[in-house]
Amino acid sequence: MTPFYTWIADLAQRGWLPGDFQYPFLIRGFLSVLVLAPILGGLSHLVVTRRMAFFSAALGQAALTGVAIGLLLGEPLNSPYGGMFGFCLLATLAMVYVKRRATLPPDTLIGVFHALTLGLGLCLLVLLTRQFNVHQVESVLFGSLLTVTDGDLLLLVVVGIVVGGLLVREYNHLLLDSLNRPLASVAGARSIYLEYFFAVLLTLSIVVSLKIIGALLVEALVVVPAAAARNVASSTRSYLVWSIAVAFFAGAGGLAVSTKFLVPTGGAVVLAVSTIFFVTLAVRTMRRRSVM
């Protein structure tokens, strides 16, 4: 990647790109945002339609526990993907399995898992402080551009292609299943399969996004872009386009703010996406008033 970074830095020095692009970590950060926006923005509109916002929050907490497990098992501090993915996948499968069988409302059950994984994560993090300075895992909690490597970026691209490809294959069934399950079933969609399928794709995407956005804040990027998009979209197509656009501008804006003011990337991205949400809400309110 070095010749690529050198070329970009050269363009920045000539003034063709913003000066910040002289630094490889910022180029990596921007490329990460470019890949993350379609993944999380695209998933976001299905997450909201399928009412899985709380599920995503629980997955973020599970990732925190997964990091702790990975580090305790000896994974490198910079890439505890095994623990993260392993535990998140386990939590996902358990949540979907129990949700499908229990008679309690889904949000109550997910609340139980949420509390369980968070409690376990906190206990394990305290154990971890005997081996690491807890600030060393801060990047996973809140996201940090400084720790994103070329390997992380490559993983993000590969997962993005896989998730995108699989999502395209099942998109229509997923949307119909979200609208009306019996109708989807008559049309040949397998509800059980779709529920596990989407939950696993969401898990994969969240895990690879964590180093940039952080475990505690990743839920924001899988919920708020679609929430903002709903305020302005008029069809399924524009819903997707707006979700991706919001995720991209929030990512790029958050990146710029975190570089300028030296604050965690995740926090800055969440602030940016929340700001966009309120702007779109205002647009929706104004449109409604002009119609009345």
Partner 1 sequence: MSGDTPLVEIDSLTIRRHREALLDRVSIRIARGALHAIVGPNGAGKSTLLAALLGHIPFDGRIALHWSGAGTIGYVPQTFPIDPTLPVTVADFLALTRQRRPVCFGINANARAKTAALLGRVGLTGLESRPLAVLSGGELRRVLLAHALDPEPELLILDEPGSGLDEASAQWLEDTLRDLRQARRLTIVLVSHDTDRVRRLADRVTSLDRHVVAEGPPDEVFA
Which range touches partner 1 (CB under 8 A), out of 19-27, 118-126, 173-181, 203-211? 173-181
183 forms part of the interface with partner 1 (CB under 8 A): yes
Per-residue exposure over 228-259, b if at least 16 CB sit within 10 Å of its own CB, e if not: bbbbbbeeeeebbebbbbbbbbbbbbbbbbbb
Which range touches partner 1 (CB under 8 A), out of 7-15, 33-41, 184-192, 215-223? 184-192
30 forms part of the interface with partner 1 (CB under 8 A): no
- Of 175, 200, 263, 279, the one binding partner 1 by CB under 8 A: 175
In the complex, minimum distance from the CB of residue 176 to partner 1, in angstroms, rounded to a whole number: 5
- Of 73, 126, 162, 179, the one binding partner 1 by CB under 8 A: 179
Q: Check if the beta carbon of residue 226 is closer than 8 Å to that of residue 243.
A: yes
Of 33, 27, 41, residue with least CA distance to 251: 33
45 forms part of the interface with partner 1 (CB under 8 A): yes
Of 99, 82, 83, 92, residue with least CA distance to 58: 92
Number of residues in the chain = 292
136 forms part of the interface with partner 1 (CB under 8 A): no
172 forms part of the interface with partner 1 (CB under 8 A): yes
In the complex with partner 1, the residue whose CB is nearer, 102 or 179, is 179
Cα 87 to the chain's mean position, in Å? 16
171 forms part of the interface with partner 1 (CB under 8 A): yes
Q: Check if the beta carbon of residue 216 is closer than 8 Å to that of residue 266.
A: yes
Number of residues that bind partner 1 (CB under 8 A): 26
182 forms part of the interface with partner 1 (CB under 8 A): yes
Q: What is the dihedral of CA 240, 243, 247, 252, to 10 degrees?
A: 80
In the complex, minimum distance from the CB of residue 177 to partner 1, in angstroms, rounded to a whole number: 10
In the complex, minimum distance from the CB of residue 237 to partner 1, in angstroms, rounded to a whole number: 6
Among residue numbers 217 through 256, which ones bind partner 1 (CB under 8 A)? 229-231, 233-240
In the complex, minimum distance from the CB of residue 228 to partner 1, in angstroms, rounded to a whole number: 11
Neighbours of 268 (CB within 10 A): 26
DSSP E strands in the chain: the ranges are: none
49 forms part of the interface with partner 1 (CB under 8 A): yes
Cα of first residue to Cα of last residue in the chain, in angstroms, is 55
Question: Using CA atoms, how far apart are residues 222 and 39, in angstroms rounded to an integer?
Answer: 9
Q: Which residues bind partner 1 (CB under 8 A)?
A: 45, 49, 167-168, 171-172, 175-176, 179-180, 182-183, 185-187, 229-231, 233-240
